[in-house]
Structure formats: C-alpha cells, structure tokens
Amino acid sequence: MGITDTDVATVLGYATANAIFQFNHANVCGKLVSMKACPAGSINARFPVYSNLASSNVQAVGAGAEGGTDPTARDITVAPSDIEVLRYTTRADLTDLAVHGNEVSLFTDAGGILGNAMAAKFDSIVSALFDGFTGNAINSSDNAMSLADWFTAIQYLREDNAPAPYSAVLSVGQVWGAYGLSTLIGSDDFSAQANKGDEFLNTGYITSLAGVGIYYTPELVENLSASSNCAKGAMFSKQAIGVGFIDKGGNSFINVEPQRDASLALTELICNGYFAAAELVDNFGCELFTRVNSDQSS
C-alpha cells in the first residue's frame, strides 16, 4: 500500500520544522545583516538609507543670541533601496520503498538536508556581495592575513561612521589556511595575547578579534589555482547589506511542501526560500582580499 495523504500530512510538519531548524543552525550570514519582511501585497522590501550630519552642521548659540536668528536647517536625505524577493527552490524525491525501508523518519531527515542546502544558498548569495565593497578594501592577495590589515579595516569602518558592532565573514582558508588567522594568531604579534593563542589551540577557533566577531562559511569561494590562492572575505556593519524576505510564518522565509506522484510511488518534497540580498551602504563594509594557501604551481 502506498503512502496516504494522512501519512504525508503527519510527517510533513516534522519535515518543515526540521528544515527551518537546520537552516537556522547552519546559516551564518542571516544574523549579521539587516533583515526585512515584505509588506502584504508586495514582493519588495524597502530599506531606507539616510545621510549623516557632521559636527560642522551643529552650531553654537550664546546666551545673548537666544531668540535671535533661527538655526540653519540641514538636509537629511533618504535614498531607499528596494530589494525584490526571488524564489529559491530545491527538492528531494522519496520513494515509498525508501520511506518504509528506513527505521528513521526519512521525511524529517530529508527536510533537514533541504534546510541545510537553503542555508548554504543564503550564505552564498550574501558572501558574493563582498566583492562589491569597493569604497573600502584590503588588497593583500599575495600576503597572509595580518594584524595591520585587521585594524586598517576597522579604521575604515570607523572613519565612515559605520554603526558597530562589526562582523568578519571569512573563507575556510582565511581562518585555517597556511596564510590564515591560525598562522597570524601564532605569530609574534600575539605574544602579549597568549589567551587568544590558547583559545585557538584548545578549540580550533576564536570567536572575536579586536571586538570584531569572526565567522566563516564554506560558501565563500576561494580562488585556488597554480598562480593564485586567495579569497575575498569581508568585515562589515549590519547596515551594509540588506535581505528582503517573504514571511511564511514565524519570521521564517522557507517552507516545505509535498507533491505526490502516485504513478512512480514517490513523494516529492519541495523546499522553497523567498529572499534576496543587496548592498545597502558601500562604505559600511570592507573587503578582505588575502592569501589562503601556498603556491600550488610547484
């Protein structure tokens, strides 16, 4: 006997829940960028980007001048950025024999796998924007990550009044490669910060450096070739990148739906994600273009 609609309805809730759980668990960039749901009746999310006022725009008024000339009006401009949401989709086909032949819940496990895939796609889309941070960039593609690079990136963001806190999203090689943070933290630059070296040796990772949160994603593409072994990570403020999404319930933008194909005795499990990402303020991010491994040409 094939799987009935009742069977599918029973397990679908578990599949959807596990897909959302795995997305939230595996996703890196979602919590580091500005997220905004589209209003009802629209597939566009609008992010207002305001101009700043400098200290020179604030004037002093002495006691004797009270009630005199009105202060100069300053223009605060807004340049809204509209992000049109797209649908990203992936699917798994679960045959009746496979479902009945497994002691575990294949629907639940498949939901988790689809959620992981959607999380990877999300990180891939966001990290592809790092190359667009052209206003501020550290170009050390021939050199290892250095402490000077790290503090220069912070300097750039501070000078452009990028709202703190800052996050750095790096490639795997930029953290653990021969030219990555793992080598930097073991260098003489950290002789007075033995606790960071101990943290890296004990856990294989450090969570922050100079107040900047450190994250990594395998979705950040590394250029590994005979002549080039580098990657483009980034340090940025949350306001640097915006992600618009359609809320499918509970502030989640992914859902899982079944589609029954009785002639093939299988159930298609389809996972959809409704979101899109774009750069909001260029100078609120800084590209980190550094070497990750030794030259592979030899």
pLDDT digits (tens, 9 = 90+) for 130-149: 999 999 999 888 888 888 99
Domains of the chain, each with CATH number or no CATH: 5-47+78-127+243-277 (3.30.2400.10), 132-241+282-291 (3.30.2320.10)
- 226 pLDDT band, cuts 50/70/90, is low
- Look at strands 229-237 and 222-224 and give their pairing: antiparallel
Q: What percent of the chain has pLDDT over 90?
A: 45
pLDDT digits (tens, 9 = 90+) for 54-100: 777 788 777 665 666 777 788 777 778 899 999 999 999 989 998 88
Q: Would you say 220 and 129 are in contact if contact means Cβ atoms under 8 Å apart? A: no
Measured distance CA(85)–CA(245) in Å, rounded: 6
Residue-wise DSSP of 91-134: EEEEEHHHHHT-SS-HHHHHHHHHHHHHHHHHHHHHHTTGGG--
Measured distance CA(184)–CA(27) in Å, rounded: 26
- 45 pLDDT band, cuts 50/70/90, is very high
